[in-house]
Amino acid sequence: MSKVFFWILAVATIVGGIAAVSYFRDKWREKQQWVVEHKEVNSTWWESSELKRHYEAKGYKDFAWSNLDRVAERIIAGKEIVYEPDKEKRVKYKLVNRSGQVLMCRAGA
């Protein structure tokens, strides 16, 4: 009888441990996810920003504003959306202008 009780406790402990690891892994993943928000900027801000110099240093070029309905088409053509990351808040700001156009760029060859 004591062997059966031992095995029941052993299996329950293992299953409980697996459940705890799974629960905390999901919580950790939720904290790791970045949120995307829009940040309204204008061309003057963009041209004088450190963010633009950072993108250029990484080899990006051909910066242009794109209408929201053409973003998917431009991504297929090789362009990327410009994001300003905020590591503390875990937010990526998608840069948009007053007209709702999204700032995009192309990676250098």
Q: What is the pLDDT of residue 70?
A: 94
Backbone angles phi, psi at 64, to 5 degrees: -155, 155
- Domain extent listing, the chain: 1-33, 34-107
pTM: 0.68
Backbone angles phi, psi at 49, to 5 degrees: -85, 155
DSSP per position, 37-100: EEEE--HHHHHT-HHHHHHHHTTEEEEEEE-GGGHHHHHHTTEEE-EEEETTTTEEEEEE-TT-
Low-confidence stretches of the chain (pLDDT < 70) are 1, 27, 29-31, 109
Residue 95 burial (CB count, 10 A): 23
Q: What is the pLDDT of residue 11?
A: 80
Q: What is the pLDDT of residues 9-26, one digit of tens each?
A: 888 788 878 877 777 777
